[in-house]
Structure 1
Amino acid sequence: MTAFAPAHLVAVYEVRSLRTDAEREEAAALVQDRQRWLTLRGLPVPARADVPALFRDPQTRPAGLFEDGKLLACMIPQRDPDLGWGEGACLFLGCFHTLPDQPDDITRLITLWASDFAARLDLPFVRTEALARHALEAEPVAALLRRLTDMGWDVRGSGPGREGDRVARLELAAERRSGLSALIGCCVHEPQAAPDDRGSA
Protein backbone atom coordinates (compact mmCIF):
# COMPACT_ATOMS: atom_id res chain seq x y z
CA MET A 1 0.00 0.00 0.00
CA THR A 2 1.28 3.46 -0.83
CA ALA A 3 -1.64 5.53 0.34
CA PHE A 4 0.62 8.19 1.84
CA ALA A 5 3.03 8.31 -1.11
CA PRO A 6 2.67 10.30 -4.33
CA ALA A 7 0.90 8.22 -6.97
CA HIS A 8 3.99 7.87 -9.16
CA LEU A 9 6.14 6.39 -6.40
CA VAL A 10 6.35 2.67 -5.73
CA ALA A 11 7.67 1.44 -2.40
CA VAL A 12 11.20 0.03 -2.56
CA TYR A 13 10.34 -2.76 -0.11
CA GLU A 14 7.18 -4.69 0.62
CA VAL A 15 6.09 -6.73 3.62
CA ARG A 16 3.34 -9.10 2.59
CA SER A 17 1.74 -12.37 3.45
CA LEU A 18 3.27 -15.31 1.59
CA ARG A 19 0.56 -16.17 -0.90
CA THR A 20 1.75 -19.18 -2.83
CA ASP A 21 3.33 -22.56 -2.15
CA ALA A 22 6.43 -21.33 -4.00
CA GLU A 23 6.79 -18.28 -1.74
CA ARG A 24 6.32 -20.38 1.37
CA GLU A 25 8.88 -22.89 0.11
CA GLU A 26 11.30 -20.01 -0.51
CA ALA A 27 10.80 -18.88 3.10
CA ALA A 28 11.42 -22.41 4.39
CA ALA A 29 14.66 -22.51 2.38
CA LEU A 30 15.69 -19.11 3.81
CA VAL A 31 15.16 -20.46 7.34
CA GLN A 32 17.25 -23.54 6.56
CA ASP A 33 20.02 -21.38 5.08
CA ARG A 34 20.00 -19.14 8.14
CA GLN A 35 20.12 -22.09 10.54
CA ARG A 36 23.01 -23.64 8.58
CA TRP A 37 24.86 -20.28 8.65
CA LEU A 38 24.41 -20.04 12.44
CA THR A 39 25.51 -23.64 13.01
CA LEU A 40 28.70 -23.19 10.99
CA ARG A 41 29.61 -20.24 13.23
CA GLY A 42 28.86 -22.07 16.46
CA LEU A 43 25.83 -19.89 17.15
CA PRO A 44 22.59 -21.23 18.67
CA VAL A 45 19.67 -22.41 16.57
CA PRO A 46 16.16 -23.20 17.86
CA ALA A 47 15.73 -26.58 19.50
CA ARG A 48 12.49 -27.01 17.56
CA ALA A 49 13.50 -28.93 14.45
CA ASP A 50 10.49 -28.20 12.26
CA VAL A 51 10.71 -24.40 11.98
CA PRO A 52 10.95 -24.54 8.15
CA ALA A 53 7.73 -26.60 8.11
CA LEU A 54 5.91 -23.75 9.87
CA PHE A 55 6.61 -21.53 6.86
CA ARG A 56 5.29 -24.17 4.43
CA ASP A 57 1.95 -24.26 6.28
CA PRO A 58 -0.50 -21.62 4.97
CA GLN A 59 -2.43 -21.86 8.25
CA THR A 60 0.41 -20.07 10.07
CA ARG A 61 0.01 -17.07 7.73
CA PRO A 62 3.72 -16.34 7.34
CA ALA A 63 4.88 -13.00 5.94
CA GLY A 64 8.04 -11.82 4.24
CA LEU A 65 10.03 -8.68 3.47
CA PHE A 66 10.71 -8.39 -0.26
CA GLU A 67 12.91 -6.13 -2.35
CA ASP A 68 12.16 -6.30 -6.10
CA GLY A 69 10.67 -9.75 -5.61
CA LYS A 70 13.63 -11.08 -3.58
CA LEU A 71 12.78 -12.45 -0.13
CA LEU A 72 15.06 -10.82 2.46
CA ALA A 73 13.36 -11.91 5.70
CA CYS A 74 10.41 -13.93 6.90
CA MET A 75 8.37 -14.20 10.08
CA ILE A 76 5.02 -15.33 11.48
CA PRO A 77 3.06 -12.32 12.78
CA GLN A 78 0.55 -13.16 15.51
CA ARG A 79 -1.87 -11.12 17.57
CA ASP A 80 -1.39 -11.32 21.31
CA PRO A 81 -0.20 -14.91 21.84
CA ASP A 82 0.26 -16.19 25.39
CA LEU A 83 3.95 -15.45 25.85
CA GLY A 84 4.02 -15.71 29.62
CA TRP A 85 5.70 -12.28 29.80
CA GLY A 86 4.86 -8.68 28.99
CA GLU A 87 1.75 -6.73 29.91
CA GLY A 88 -0.88 -5.60 27.46
CA ALA A 89 -1.79 -6.78 23.98
CA CYS A 90 0.87 -7.03 21.29
CA LEU A 91 1.85 -7.94 17.78
CA PHE A 92 4.26 -10.87 18.13
CA LEU A 93 6.86 -11.61 15.46
CA GLY A 94 7.48 -15.33 15.69
CA CYS A 95 10.28 -17.28 13.98
CA PHE A 96 11.92 -14.14 12.57
CA HIS A 97 14.75 -14.98 10.14
CA THR A 98 16.83 -12.92 7.72
CA LEU A 99 18.97 -13.99 4.80
CA PRO A 100 22.51 -14.83 5.97
CA ASP A 101 25.21 -12.16 5.65
CA GLN A 102 22.72 -9.30 5.39
CA PRO A 103 23.25 -5.89 7.03
CA ASP A 104 21.28 -4.71 10.04
CA ASP A 105 19.28 -2.55 7.63
CA ILE A 106 16.85 -5.44 7.09
CA THR A 107 16.14 -5.71 10.81
CA ARG A 108 15.76 -1.93 10.96
CA LEU A 109 13.18 -2.04 8.15
CA ILE A 110 11.22 -4.79 9.92
CA THR A 111 11.38 -2.73 13.12
CA LEU A 112 9.90 0.33 11.40
CA TRP A 113 7.23 -1.72 9.65
CA ALA A 114 6.23 -3.70 12.76
CA SER A 115 5.94 -0.59 14.93
CA ASP A 116 3.67 1.05 12.35
CA PHE A 117 1.66 -2.11 11.64
CA ALA A 118 0.98 -2.68 15.36
CA ALA A 119 -0.21 0.91 15.74
CA ARG A 120 -2.58 0.46 12.79
CA LEU A 121 -3.98 -2.63 14.52
CA ASP A 122 -4.48 -0.56 17.72
CA LEU A 123 -1.94 -2.71 19.54
CA PRO A 124 0.43 -0.87 21.92
CA PHE A 125 3.50 -3.10 21.51
CA VAL A 126 5.48 -5.38 19.24
CA ARG A 127 7.24 -8.29 20.94
CA THR A 128 9.67 -10.91 19.77
CA GLU A 129 12.23 -13.31 21.22
CA ALA A 130 15.90 -13.85 20.38
CA LEU A 131 17.80 -17.00 21.31
CA ALA A 132 20.03 -16.41 24.33
CA ARG A 133 21.49 -19.63 25.69
CA HIS A 134 23.84 -17.74 28.04
CA ALA A 135 23.71 -14.53 30.09
CA LEU A 136 22.52 -11.50 28.15
CA GLU A 137 25.83 -9.76 28.89
CA ALA A 138 27.78 -12.54 27.11
CA GLU A 139 28.75 -12.33 23.46
CA PRO A 140 27.46 -12.77 20.82
CA VAL A 141 23.95 -12.07 22.16
CA ALA A 142 25.13 -8.87 23.90
CA ALA A 143 26.20 -7.37 20.57
CA LEU A 144 22.86 -8.31 18.98
CA LEU A 145 20.92 -6.75 21.85
CA ARG A 146 22.98 -3.55 21.62
CA ARG A 147 22.08 -3.24 17.95
CA LEU A 148 18.40 -3.90 18.66
CA THR A 149 18.22 -1.37 21.48
CA ASP A 150 19.79 1.18 19.14
CA MET A 151 16.83 0.51 16.83
CA GLY A 152 14.32 1.20 19.62
CA TRP A 153 13.72 -2.25 21.12
CA ASP A 154 13.68 -2.66 24.90
CA VAL A 155 15.10 -5.80 26.50
CA ARG A 156 12.63 -7.24 29.02
CA GLY A 157 14.94 -9.81 30.57
CA SER A 158 15.33 -13.44 29.62
CA GLY A 159 13.65 -16.75 30.27
CA PRO A 160 11.91 -19.63 28.49
CA GLY A 161 10.54 -18.74 25.08
CA ARG A 162 7.42 -20.03 23.37
CA GLU A 163 9.25 -23.10 22.13
CA GLY A 164 11.11 -23.81 25.35
CA ASP A 165 14.45 -22.26 24.36
CA ARG A 166 16.06 -19.68 26.64
CA VAL A 167 15.48 -16.31 24.98
CA ALA A 168 15.96 -12.60 25.37
CA ARG A 169 12.55 -10.95 25.53
CA LEU A 170 12.20 -7.87 23.33
CA GLU A 171 9.52 -5.21 23.23
CA LEU A 172 8.96 -2.25 20.90
CA ALA A 173 6.42 0.56 21.28
CA ALA A 174 3.90 0.84 18.46
CA GLU A 175 4.09 4.10 16.52
CA ARG A 176 2.21 5.35 13.46
CA ARG A 177 4.66 6.37 10.74
CA SER A 178 2.56 8.08 8.09
CA GLY A 179 5.30 8.40 5.47
CA LEU A 180 6.61 4.88 5.79
CA SER A 181 4.47 3.49 2.97
CA ALA A 182 6.66 5.34 0.45
CA LEU A 183 9.53 3.08 1.57
CA ILE A 184 7.79 -0.11 2.71
CA GLY A 185 4.52 -1.29 1.22
CA CYS A 186 2.34 -3.49 3.41
CA CYS A 187 -0.05 -6.21 2.35
CA VAL A 188 -0.23 -8.49 5.38
CA HIS A 189 -3.25 -10.41 6.64
CA GLU A 190 -4.49 -9.09 9.94
CA PRO A 191 -2.78 -11.50 12.34
CA GLN A 192 -5.01 -13.97 14.07
CA ALA A 193 -4.90 -14.65 17.77
CA ALA A 194 -2.46 -17.49 18.23
CA PRO A 195 -3.39 -20.66 20.08
CA ASP A 196 -0.88 -21.81 22.64
CA ASP A 197 0.89 -24.37 20.45
CA ARG A 198 4.00 -24.93 22.52
CA GLY A 199 5.20 -28.46 22.06
CA SER A 200 3.01 -29.15 19.05
CA ALA A 201 4.43 -30.43 15.80
Structure 2
Amino acid sequence: MRTLRTDAERAEAAALVQDRQRWLTLRGLPVPAQADVPALFRDRQTRSAGLFEDGKLLACMVPARDPGLSWGEGPCLRLGRVHTLPDQSDDITRLITLWASDLAARLDLPVVRAEVLARHPPQAVPVALLRRLTDMGWDVRGSGAGREGDRVTCLELASEHRPGLSALISCQVHAPHLTGDDRSSA
Protein backbone atom coordinates (compact mmCIF):
# COMPACT_ATOMS: atom_id res chain seq x y z
CA MET A 1 0.00 0.00 0.00
CA ARG A 2 1.49 3.33 -0.96
CA THR A 3 0.59 6.94 -1.54
CA LEU A 4 -0.15 7.73 -5.19
CA ARG A 5 2.65 10.12 -6.08
CA THR A 6 2.86 10.44 -9.85
CA ASP A 7 0.43 11.62 -12.49
CA ALA A 8 0.65 8.14 -14.05
CA GLU A 9 -0.34 6.44 -10.78
CA ARG A 10 -3.21 8.89 -10.30
CA ALA A 11 -4.39 8.30 -13.90
CA GLU A 12 -4.23 4.54 -13.31
CA ALA A 13 -6.35 4.96 -10.16
CA ALA A 14 -8.89 7.08 -12.07
CA ALA A 15 -9.10 4.37 -14.75
CA LEU A 16 -9.58 1.69 -12.07
CA VAL A 17 -12.43 3.73 -10.57
CA GLN A 18 -14.07 4.11 -14.00
CA ASP A 19 -13.75 0.36 -14.62
CA ARG A 20 -15.27 -0.41 -11.20
CA GLN A 21 -18.13 2.06 -11.70
CA ARG A 22 -18.88 0.56 -15.11
CA TRP A 23 -18.81 -2.95 -13.59
CA LEU A 24 -21.21 -1.87 -10.79
CA THR A 25 -23.57 -0.14 -13.25
CA LEU A 26 -23.79 -3.22 -15.47
CA ARG A 27 -24.86 -5.24 -12.42
CA GLY A 28 -27.41 -2.68 -11.23
CA LEU A 29 -25.36 -1.81 -8.16
CA PRO A 30 -25.06 1.75 -6.78
CA VAL A 31 -22.40 4.23 -7.88
CA PRO A 32 -21.84 7.70 -6.39
CA ALA A 33 -24.40 10.15 -7.71
CA GLN A 34 -22.87 13.43 -6.61
CA ALA A 35 -19.11 13.23 -7.13
CA ASP A 36 -16.77 12.78 -10.07
CA VAL A 37 -14.67 10.17 -8.31
CA PRO A 38 -12.21 9.55 -11.18
CA ALA A 39 -11.39 13.29 -11.19
CA LEU A 40 -10.82 13.14 -7.44
CA PHE A 41 -8.11 10.51 -7.97
CA ARG A 42 -6.50 12.52 -10.80
CA ASP A 43 -6.25 15.59 -8.54
CA ARG A 44 -2.74 16.10 -7.11
CA GLN A 45 -4.26 17.62 -3.95
CA THR A 46 -6.09 14.41 -3.06
CA ARG A 47 -4.00 12.33 -0.67
CA SER A 48 -4.92 8.98 -2.19
CA ALA A 49 -3.30 5.59 -1.78
CA GLY A 50 -3.15 2.42 -3.82
CA LEU A 51 -2.66 -1.28 -3.21
CA PHE A 52 -0.13 -2.59 -5.70
CA GLU A 53 1.04 -6.11 -6.41
CA ASP A 54 3.95 -6.63 -8.79
CA GLY A 55 3.41 -3.10 -10.12
CA LYS A 56 -0.31 -3.65 -10.82
CA LEU A 57 -2.84 -1.40 -9.07
CA LEU A 58 -5.44 -3.62 -7.36
CA ALA A 59 -7.27 -1.00 -5.28
CA CYS A 60 -7.30 2.70 -4.50
CA MET A 61 -8.76 4.82 -1.72
CA VAL A 62 -8.48 8.05 0.21
CA PRO A 63 -7.38 7.35 3.79
CA ALA A 64 -7.75 10.25 6.23
CA ARG A 65 -7.60 10.87 9.94
CA ASP A 66 -11.03 12.18 10.88
CA PRO A 67 -12.23 13.69 14.15
CA GLY A 68 -15.53 11.88 13.63
CA LEU A 69 -18.10 11.27 10.94
CA SER A 70 -21.64 12.47 11.45
CA TRP A 71 -22.60 8.91 12.44
CA GLY A 72 -19.52 7.98 14.50
CA GLU A 73 -18.25 9.19 17.83
CA GLY A 74 -14.63 10.16 18.24
CA PRO A 75 -11.56 10.15 16.02
CA CYS A 76 -10.98 7.48 13.40
CA LEU A 77 -9.08 6.47 10.33
CA ARG A 78 -11.60 7.01 7.55
CA LEU A 79 -11.31 4.99 4.37
CA GLY A 80 -13.01 6.95 1.65
CA ARG A 81 -13.67 6.18 -1.98
CA VAL A 82 -12.42 2.59 -1.76
CA HIS A 83 -12.41 0.96 -5.19
CA THR A 84 -11.04 -2.45 -6.11
CA LEU A 85 -10.25 -3.90 -9.49
CA PRO A 86 -13.41 -5.60 -10.83
CA ASP A 87 -13.72 -9.39 -10.67
CA GLN A 88 -11.02 -9.86 -8.03
CA SER A 89 -11.11 -12.14 -5.03
CA ASP A 90 -11.99 -11.05 -1.50
CA ASP A 91 -8.28 -11.27 -0.70
CA ILE A 92 -7.86 -7.64 -1.76
CA THR A 93 -10.62 -6.50 0.60
CA ARG A 94 -9.17 -8.68 3.37
CA LEU A 95 -5.70 -7.11 2.89
CA ILE A 96 -7.19 -3.61 2.96
CA THR A 97 -9.08 -4.53 6.14
CA LEU A 98 -5.95 -5.86 7.87
CA TRP A 99 -3.85 -2.92 6.69
CA ALA A 100 -6.41 -0.30 7.79
CA SER A 101 -6.86 -1.86 11.23
CA ASP A 102 -3.07 -1.93 11.74
CA LEU A 103 -2.56 1.62 10.42
CA ALA A 104 -5.27 2.95 12.75
CA ALA A 105 -3.57 1.23 15.71
CA ARG A 106 -0.17 2.70 14.73
CA LEU A 107 -1.81 6.16 14.55
CA ASP A 108 -3.38 5.60 18.01
CA LEU A 109 -6.87 5.77 16.55
CA PRO A 110 -9.47 3.42 18.05
CA VAL A 111 -11.38 2.57 14.87
CA VAL A 112 -11.54 2.61 11.10
CA ARG A 113 -14.75 3.87 9.52
CA ALA A 114 -16.03 3.50 5.98
CA GLU A 115 -19.26 3.91 4.05
CA VAL A 116 -20.65 1.46 1.51
CA LEU A 117 -23.08 2.78 -1.08
CA ALA A 118 -26.59 1.41 -0.79
CA ARG A 119 -29.38 1.15 -3.31
CA HIS A 120 -32.74 2.72 -2.72
CA PRO A 121 -34.44 1.65 -0.49
CA PRO A 122 -31.60 1.65 2.06
CA GLN A 123 -32.05 -1.98 3.07
CA ALA A 124 -31.09 -2.96 -0.49
CA VAL A 125 -27.34 -3.00 0.22
CA PRO A 126 -26.04 -6.21 -1.31
CA VAL A 127 -26.35 -8.68 1.57
CA ALA A 128 -23.48 -10.84 0.29
CA LEU A 129 -21.11 -7.85 0.41
CA LEU A 130 -22.11 -6.93 3.96
CA ARG A 131 -21.79 -10.57 5.04
CA ARG A 132 -18.26 -10.74 3.62
CA LEU A 133 -17.30 -7.46 5.33
CA THR A 134 -18.73 -8.48 8.70
CA ASP A 135 -16.93 -11.83 8.39
CA MET A 136 -13.72 -9.79 8.02
CA GLY A 137 -14.43 -7.92 11.27
CA TRP A 138 -16.37 -4.86 10.14
CA ASP A 139 -19.42 -3.90 12.24
CA VAL A 140 -22.51 -2.36 10.63
CA ARG A 141 -23.37 0.89 12.42
CA GLY A 142 -26.55 1.75 10.55
CA SER A 143 -27.47 3.48 7.33
CA GLY A 144 -28.32 6.95 6.17
CA ALA A 145 -26.98 9.81 4.11
CA GLY A 146 -23.23 9.65 3.58
CA ARG A 147 -20.72 12.48 3.35
CA GLU A 148 -21.68 13.21 -0.27
CA GLY A 149 -25.43 12.77 0.23
CA ASP A 150 -25.59 9.25 -1.22
CA ARG A 151 -27.43 6.53 0.69
CA VAL A 152 -24.82 4.46 2.59
CA THR A 153 -24.34 1.71 5.11
CA CYS A 154 -21.95 2.79 7.85
CA LEU A 155 -19.15 0.40 8.82
CA GLU A 156 -16.66 0.43 11.67
CA LEU A 157 -13.60 -1.74 12.35
CA ALA A 158 -11.61 -1.87 15.59
CA SER A 159 -7.95 -0.93 15.28
CA GLU A 160 -5.49 -3.71 16.03
CA HIS A 161 -1.72 -3.92 15.89
CA ARG A 162 -0.75 -6.67 13.47
CA PRO A 163 3.01 -7.12 13.85
CA GLY A 164 3.39 -9.84 11.18
CA LEU A 165 1.37 -7.99 8.55
CA SER A 166 4.43 -6.56 6.82
CA ALA A 167 5.11 -10.05 5.44
CA LEU A 168 1.85 -9.73 3.43
CA ILE A 169 1.60 -6.02 2.77
CA SER A 170 4.01 -3.14 3.19
CA CYS A 171 2.83 0.32 4.13
CA GLN A 172 4.31 3.35 2.43
CA VAL A 173 1.31 5.61 2.92
CA HIS A 174 1.55 9.18 4.16
CA ALA A 175 0.40 9.66 7.73
CA PRO A 176 -3.19 10.80 7.16
CA HIS A 177 -3.84 14.24 8.57
CA LEU A 178 -6.93 15.67 10.20
CA THR A 179 -9.44 16.49 7.55
CA GLY A 180 -11.17 19.75 7.06
CA ASP A 181 -10.33 19.93 3.40
CA ASP A 182 -12.99 18.44 1.12
CA ARG A 183 -10.29 17.18 -1.25
CA SER A 184 -9.19 14.59 1.28
CA SER A 185 -12.69 13.61 2.35
CA ALA A 186 -14.67 10.78 0.95
TM-score range, shorter chain: over 0.9
Task: Tell whether the 8 Å contact from 2:76 to 2:110 is kept in structure 1 after alignment.
Answer: yes
CA drift of 1:178 comes to 0.4
SS in 1 for 2:30: coil
Q: Which runs of 5+ in 2 are unaligned?
A: none
Matched position secondary structure for 2:182: coil
Deviation, structure 1 residue 134: 3.6
Q: Distance in 1 between matches of 2:67 and 2:15?
A: 26
Instruction: Describe the SS at the equivalent of 2:72.
Output: coil
Superposition pairs for residues 186-201 of structure 1, below 5 Å? 186-195=171-180, 197=182
Among 33, 37, 44, the alignment partner of 2:19 is: 33
Paired residue for 1:46, among 32, 51, 55? 32
**Could you say what secondary structure the match of 1:35 adopts?**
helix
Kindly indicate which of the two structures has a greater share of residues assigned to helix: 2
Q: Which residue of 1 aligns with 2:61?
A: 75
Please report how far the alpha carbon of residue 42 of structure 1 lies from its aligned counterpart in structure 2 after TM superposition. 1.2
Structure-2 change in CA distance of 1:165 and 1:136 (3 Å): closer
For 1:8-157, list aligned pairs within 5 A. Answer: 15-80=1-66, 82-134=68-120, 137-138=123-124, 141-157=126-142
Matched residue type, 1:190: A
2:15 alignment partner, SS class: helix
TM-score in terms of structure 2 length = 0.94
Question: SS where residue 63 of structure 2 aligns?
Answer: strand
Which protein is bigger by CA-based radius of gyration? Answer: 1
* Percent identity over paired residues: 79
Paired amino acid for 2:24: L
Root mean square deviation, CA, Å: 1.7
**Matched pairs, number:** 184
Structure with greater contact order relative to length (CA < 8 Å, sep ≥ 6): 1
Q: TM-score w.r.t. structure 1 length?
A: 0.87
